[in-house]
Amino acid sequence: MPEQDFLDKTLTEWLDSCTRNRKISRNTIAIGLVILDRLRIQSPLDKSDIVSSGGEIAGSRAGLYKLLVKYGLPEGFLKEVTTRQAHQDGQRLLDSLKYGRVFDRLSKKDRDRKLRGAINRLQEKAHAWLSRQHLKIACDRQNSPATWIHAILEEAKGRSGGKVEQHLIGAKLEQRHPNIPIPNHPGHAADVPTSRSGDFRVGDACYHVTANPSLSLLKKVATNLGGGLFPVILVPSSKVSKAKHLAEEQGIDARIEVFAIEDFLAQNIIEMSEGQQQSFVETMRSIIEKYNRRLEEVETDMSLKIELQ
């Protein structure tokens, strides 16, 4: 099979294998760009040249923004590749291309031309990702605030990685406590544990926001109890039972609170609207304005901004 046909076929099969929930992540797109660019510079590669002992692809963290700019992509497309799945995707691409040995019969000029064509395909994927529309939510005044929040979470499924949930709660806390600094941290894919006690802390309350509660989260919650904090777990309504079950397994269910994000936000929208003598929609719009600003401050995926219609 001609090398270009082989490369096209290999890249197509790789992209298909990396497509999950009918989407391909920007982490995987970036990994592909790193690998193909590296093969333009040097081919073949030894595994030790590009894959660390921990399984990470070299060049996917420090300096990634320079590579993105090189290929006409904004620095904000991705700061660094952090997901384990993307690094595994990269290793499969390297294996399929035999670390560049499939190009052994080609001149450097021909190899570069063919790899540049493959890079163009990934650039197209990246631009398609960048052109994604914002989350558009119909804010029907006949529906309850909980229904509006539920619609946002449903629309964000498969795209959020927990970011929408986290920044919604941050915006709500900022609205509710204007005189208290509410921290704003970037979201973490798959709710990666951090050294922070929780996502937000107001007084003794420590808020843990997650799209999918896990055992590691509940262990952190248990640690916070030992530190004198009062943990509050906030999850989508469909995950409340799971969170409570995990709390029971840890023997801490009577010492913490578990709330549905929809109910938690709706109750506060109602209370704040009454206190400020404004409609629920006005309060909702104010929270979403803060949400969008907080998102802009720390995230790179602006398609997660919310438009109320």
pLDDT digits (tens, 9 = 90+) for 16-65: 999 987 888 889 999 999 999 999 999 999 999 999 988 999 999 888 98
Residue 121 confidence (pLDDT): 94
Q: How do residues 219-228 score in pLDDT, each as one tens digit?
A: 999 988 988 8
pLDDT of 240 over the 90 cut: yes
Q: What's the pLDDT score for residue 191?
A: 40
**pLDDT recorded at residue 197:** 63
State residue 157's pLDDT score: 83
pTM reported for the whole predicted model: 0.68
pLDDT in tens, 244-303: 999 999 999 999 999 999 999 999 999 999 988 999 999 999 999 999 999 999 887 888
Q: Is the pLDDT of residue 3 over 60?
A: no
Q: Across the strands, what pairs with 234? A: 209, 259
Tokens of 86: 């993307």
Q: Indicate the average pLDDT of the chain.
A: 90
293-297 own/partner pairs: CB under 8 Å, 24+ apart: 294/167, 294/170, 294/171, 294/174, 294/184, 295/163, 295/167, 297/184
| CA 27 to centroid of chain Cα atoms | 10
CB 303 within 8 A of CB 206: no
d(CA 174, CA 88): 39
Domains in the chain: ranges and CATH? 3-130 (no CATH), 135-308 (3.40.1350)
Q: What is the pLDDT of residue 289?
A: 97
The larger pLDDT score, comparing residue 306 to residue 158, is at: 306
Peptide bond into 44 cis (omega under 30): yes
Average pLDDT over residues 133-137: 87
Euclidean distance between CA atoms 88 and 95, whole angstroms: 11
Q: Which region among 64-73, 149-158, 191-200 has the lowest average model confidence (pLDDT)?
A: 191-200
Distance separating alpha carbons of residues 27 and 211, to the nearest angstrom = 20
Asked whether the beta carbons of 33 and 119 are under 8 A apart, the reply is: yes
Query: 3-state DSSP call for residue 196?
Result: coil
For residue 52, the tally of other CB atoms under 10 A from its CB is 12
pLDDT score for 192:
43
